[in-house]
C-alpha cells in the first residue's frame, strides 16, 4: 500500500492537494466517507471552509465591537459617578427592588450607579445580602435567599467617594411582591 501524504484537513475531509495523485488515494482503498473524491469537490470543500471562517471572523469582530462599546460605556459611567452618593436624589434614581430576578427567581436589590464600588454593606430587614454583579447601567446587584412578605427595609452603607463620609441609606419597600423602580426616596443618615 502506498503512503498517503496529507496537506490539510478541511471540514472533516482530507484534502491531498498536490501531495499525491487522486489515483494514489483511490489505490489505498480509503476513498469514500469523508474523503474528497474529485478536484471539483475539493474546490467546493475549500470554498465552504473559507465561507465558514469568514462568517466566524465577522461574528468575532461584531462581538469585539460590542464589548468595546460596553467597556467604553462602563468607563464613562465609572468616571461620571466617581464621587459616590451624597444626596437623597442620588439614592432614588436607579434604585430597584425586583421581586423575581431573571437569574434565579429570588428577589434582588439593584442600587443606583452612584453606589457602585462604594457600598460596604447592604441588608434587607437586617440580613446581609450577597453582591452578585455589576450590570444594567453600572449598577450593583445584591441577591436574597428567600422571598419577603409585608414591608421590608433595605439599607446600604456607602461612602460619598474615596476617603469620604459614610452614609446609611434606607429604603422602605411597602409591597415586596411588586417591582419598585426608582419611586422610593431614601432616608440618608451620616455614620
92 SS3 class: helix
Taking a C-beta distance cutoff of 8 angstroms, is the pair 170, 153 a contact? Answer: yes
Number of H helices, E strands in the chain: 3, 12
pLDDT of residue 10: 40
Clarify whether residues 141 and 175 are in a common domain: yes
Clarify whether residues 92 and 183 are in a common domain: yes
What's the per-residue H, E or C state across 64-88? HHHHHHHHHHHHHHHHHCCCCCCCH
pLDDT of residue 128: 94
Please give the DSSP secondary-structure letter assigned to residue 61: H
pLDDT of residue 144: 94
Q: d(Cα 75, Cα 81) in Å, to the nearest integer?
A: 10
Q: d(Cα 53, Cα 167) in Å, to the nearest integer?
A: 54
Clarify whether residues 94 and 179 are in a common domain: yes
Cα of 187 vs its chain's centroid, Å:
32
Q: How many independent structural domains does the chain possess?
A: 2
pLDDT of residue 100: 94
Clarify whether residues 58 and 100 are in a common domain: no
Closest Cα to residue 175, out of 150, 146, 154, 155? 150
Q: d(Cα 43, Cα 30) in Å, to the nearest integer?
A: 19
Q: What is the pLDDT along the chain (191 residues), one digit of tens a residue?
A: 444 444 444 434 444 444 455 555 555 555 454 555 577 888 888 888 899 999 999 999 998 888 888 777 766 665 665 555 656 555 556 789 999 998 899 999 999 888 888 888 999 999 999 999 988 888 899 999 999 988 999 999 988 777 778 889 899 999 999 998 767 778 888 88
pLDDT of residue 28: 54
Clarify whether residues 100 and 172 are in a common domain: yes
pLDDT of residue 29: 52
Clarify whether residues 183 and 93 are in a common domain: yes
Taking a C-beta distance cutoff of 8 angstroms, is the pair 111, 184 a contact? Answer: no
Q: Which domain holds residue 41?
A: 8-79
Clarify whether residues 122 and 158 are in a common domain: yes
Amino acid at each position: 500500500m502506498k503512503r498517503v501524504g496529507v496537506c490539510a484537513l478541511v471540514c472533516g475531509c482530507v484534502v491531498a492537494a498536490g501531495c499525491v495523485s487522486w489515483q494514489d488515494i483511490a489505490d489505498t482503498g480509503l476513498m469514500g466517507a469523508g474523503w474528497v473524491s474529485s478536484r471539483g469537490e475539493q474546490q467546493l470543500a475549500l470554498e465552504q471552509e473559507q465561507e465558514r471562517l469568514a462568517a466566524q471572523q465577522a461574528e468575532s469582530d461584531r462581538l469585539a465591537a460590542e464589548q468595546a462599546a460596553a467597556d467604553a460605556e462602563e468607563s464613562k459611567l465609572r468616571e461620571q459617578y466617581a464621587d459616590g452618593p451624597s444626596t437623597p436624589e442620588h439614592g432614588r434614581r436607579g434604585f430597584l427592588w425586583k421581586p423575581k430576578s431573571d437569574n434565579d427567581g429570588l428577589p434582588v436589590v439593584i442600587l443606583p450607579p452612584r453606589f457602585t464600588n462604594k457600598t460596604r454593606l447592604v441588608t434587607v430587614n437586617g440580613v446581609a445580602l450577597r453582591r452578585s454583579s455589576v450590570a444594567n447601567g453600572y449598577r450593583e446587584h445584591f441577591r436574597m435567599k428567600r422571598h419577603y412578605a409585608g414591608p421590608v427595609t433595605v439599607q446600604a452603607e456607602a461612602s460619598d467617594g474615596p476617603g469620604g463620609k459614610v452614609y446609611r441609606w434606607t429604603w422602605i419597600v411597602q409591597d415586596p411582591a411588586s417591582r419598585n423602580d426608582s419611586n422610593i426616596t431614601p432616608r440618608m443618615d451620616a455614620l
